[in-house]
Each structure stands twice: as C-alpha cells, then as structure tokens.
C-alpha cells in the first residue's frame, strides 16, 4: 500500500496532484520515467509520469487529469488514503545533455510530464525556452513551476483568455523563424498537439522528442499493448520509450490504438458515476 501524503486539485478540479510515500521508487526515479498504479483490487493498471520526486523524504509526485474511471476513482482518494499497487520507476529516463538552446513545449496535462524534463535540461546548463498552452486560462497547470525552470517563457491559450491567443505551435514557429540556434525541441501533450509540433519543426530540421502515451498493461515489455510504429519499426513504448524521435512516429496509428477501448471506457465511467450518486 502506498500512502497519499498530500493532495491538491487544480485546473478547476479536472487535474489532481498527489504526493505519495514510495521511498524505493523515489530513490531510483529519473526525469522522464513513470509509474504504473492500480488503485484497488478490481482496478486497472494505468501509467502516470512522476512529475517530481524527493529521495530524501521518500516521496513521488503524480499529476493526472481526470479523463475516465480510473482517474476519477483516484480523485476520490484523500490525504491519508492509500493506493494498492505502484510499480516503478519504469521506462527509459530522458537523455539529458547540454546542447545549448532547447525549447520545451507542453500542452494540457502534458505539462506535468514535461516539467521534470525541463528542469533537468536547465540544471545541466541549457538555455531553456518553454512554451506552455491550454485550451483556456483556468486549465493551465504548473505555470509558476515551469517559469522557474525556464530562461524564457511563453503562454498560449486556444481562446486567448491568457497569454498569446493561439496554439503552442504558433509560438514555436515564430521562435524557429527568429533563431537558428535551437538544438532540440521537446513536445509533450495530447497526441494531436505532438503531431503538429513535429510538423512544425520538421522543415527546420530540428530534432524533436515526444513522449508517447500508449495504452499499457504490465509496462515491463511483457505484453506489447503499448506498441507504436517508429521509423517503420514496432517499438514497445514502456521499455523502448516513452520518448521517441517525433519525426519518426506514426501518430495516426497511435491515435487509433489509443481509442481501441472507447466503448468499454465509457461504460466503465458511466457505471462509476452512477455508483457515486
């Protein structure tokens, strides 16, 4: 059992942040790695990135968006409650190196995944430019945290309620036009966003990393649920990723595979909402 030590809600209660006691995982985890958790005996195993760790205190942070049954169930847990199973750290850590100037682009809850990577990139001495976006102002998360680990910082919202009106890719394109010293772009967010980030950077020939959030089961390379086509070859995102060269990723296949259980997910979620009433 893994105890929840702190709980915060954000983005109008659509996003939830837990600090969880998990000393062994906290000791080992590196930026870019994730955990798999199973809330209770009848629960599903779902992957969530560690948005932060504190090896001294023995804690890990997860930040998740409520999108279906499991995340909604997690949200009902309070400080002091426990999660039945947490497995980690999983996946390959981000390859962090000093390159010069890098751009970190985050959308929606993807910002939670991007945050530890951004911090690591800055700590090693890169000049970090961050662009974070959301549909609308109140959905933007981790603004201060991201700002603190960035040398330059931009915000966009789809509806113009905060920061620049438009998509993160608009801001990204301007930066790519202005500067020629960009060595790396890291883009993490909803799949369509990552796809367009890659489309945006491709003509400039700037290497672009994305984090693929495929459906997973064991997340140890044992089942292949998480397979994606990268560079024409099948990769298991849980062990070969989750980060890949975005210019090689078959995003259309990824989106279709993510939608494989829409019917069952809806059924589960509706059942859960009824039970809650």
Partner 1 sequence: MTEKEKKEKIPRQPMPEQDPKKRSMNFDEVPYGYTPELAQKEASRCLQCKKPKCVEGCPVGVKIPEFINLIAEGDFIGAAKKLKEDNSLPAVCGRVCPQESQCEALCVLGKKDEPVAVGRLERFAADYERAQGTVDLPQLPPPTGKKVAVVGSGPAGLTLAGDLIKFGHQVTIFEALHKPGGVLVYGIPEFRLPKAIVEAEVDYLKRLGVEIKYNHVVGKILTVDELLEMGYDAVFLGVGAGLPVFMNIPGENLCGIYSANEYLTRSNLMKAYLFPKYDTPIAVGKNVAVIGGGNVAMDSARTALRLGANNVHIVYRRSKTELPARAEEVHHAEEEGVQFKFLTAPLRYIGNADGWVTGMECIQMELGEPDDSGRRRPVPIEDSNFTLDVDLAVIAIGTGANPIITGTIPNLELNKWGYIVADEATGKTSRERVYAGGDIVTGAATVILAMGAGRNSSQAIHQYLMNKS
Residues of the shown chain interacting with partner 1 in the complex, contacts defined by CB under 8 A: 24-25, 28, 38, 42-45, 69-70, 84-90, 217-218, 220-225, 227-229, 234, 239, 253, 256-257, 259-261, 264-265, 267-268, 271
Give least dist CB 118 to ligand FAD, A.
14
Residue 85's binding partner out of ligand FES, partner 1, ligand FAD, none, with CB under 5 to 8 Å set by partner kind: partner 1
Interacting residue with ligand FAD among 14, 65, 157, 169 (CB under 6 A): 65
Give least dist CB 26 to ligand FAD, A.
16
Interacting residue with ligand FAD among 112, 121, 172, 182 (CB under 6 A): 112
**67 lines the binding site for ligand FAD (CB under 6 A):** yes
- Provide the β-strand partners of residue 50: 62
Nearest Cα neighbor of 228 from 247, 250, 261, 199 is 250
Helix (H) / strand (E) element for 99: namely none
Give least dist CB 28 to ligand FAD, A.
14
Interacting stretch for ligand FAD, rule CB under 6 A, among 3-11, 122-130, 159-167, 211-219?
211-219
Query: For residues 19 and 58, what is the distance between their CA atoms, to the nearest angstrom?
Result: 10
**Length reported for the chain:** 277
Give least dist CB 102 to ligand FAD, A.
21
**188 lines the binding site for ligand FAD (CB under 6 A):** no
Give least dist CB 106 to partner 1, A.
26
Query: For residues 208 and 197, what is the distance between their CA atoms, to the nearest angstrom?
Result: 8
Three-state secondary-structure class, residue 23? helix
Q: Which residues contact 24 (CB under 8 A, 6 or more apart)?
A: none
CB 120 within 8 A of CB 94: yes
CB 182 within 8 A of CB 99: no
Give least dist CB 124 to ligand FAD, A.
22
Where do contacts with ligand FES occur on this chain (CB under 6 A)? 216-219, 221-226, 236, 238
Helices (H), ranges, the chain: 23-28, 69-75, 110-123, 143-148, 168-178, 191-201, 237-240, 251-258, 262-276
- Provide the β-strand partners of residue 20: 4, 60
Q: What is the contact surface with ligand FAD in residues (CB under 6 A)? A: 34, 44, 46-49, 63-65, 67-71, 109, 112-113, 213-216, 242, 258-259, 265, 269
């Amino acid at each position: 059992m893994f105890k929840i030590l702190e709980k915060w809600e954000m983005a109008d209660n659509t996003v939830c942040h837990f600090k969880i006691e998990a000393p062994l995982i906290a000791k080992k985890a590196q930026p870019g790695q994730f955990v798999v958790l199973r809330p209770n005996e009848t629960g599903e195993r779902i992957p969530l990135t560690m948005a932060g760790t504190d090896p001294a205190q023995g804690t890990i942070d997860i930040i998740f968006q409520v999108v279906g049954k499991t995340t909604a169930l997690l949200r009902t847990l309070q400080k002091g409650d426990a999660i039945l199973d947490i497995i980690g750290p999983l996946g390959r850590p981000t390859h962090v190196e000093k390159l010069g100037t890098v751009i970190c682009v985050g959308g929606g809850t993807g910002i939670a995944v991007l945050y530890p990577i951004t911090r690591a990139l800055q700590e090693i001495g890169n000049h970090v430019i961050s662009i974070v976006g959301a549909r609308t102002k109140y959905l933007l998360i981790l603004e201060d945290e991201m700002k603190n680990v960035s040398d330059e910082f931009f915000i966009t919202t789809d509806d113009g309620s905060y920061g620049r009106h438009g998509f993160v890719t608009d801001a990204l394109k301007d930066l790519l036009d202005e500067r020629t010293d960009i060595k790396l772009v890291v883009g993490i967010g909803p799949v369509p966003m990552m796809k367009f980030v890659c489309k945006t950077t491709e003509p400039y020939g700037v290497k672009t990393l994305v984090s693929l959030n495929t459906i997973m089961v064991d997340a140890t390379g044992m089942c292949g649920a998480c397979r994606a086509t990268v560079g024409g070859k099948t990769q298991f995102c849980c062990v070969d990723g989750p980060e890949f060269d975005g210019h090689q990723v078959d995003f259309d296949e990824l989106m279709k595979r993510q939608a494989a259980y829409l019917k069952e997910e809806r059924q589960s979620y509706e059942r859960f909402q009824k039970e809650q009433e």
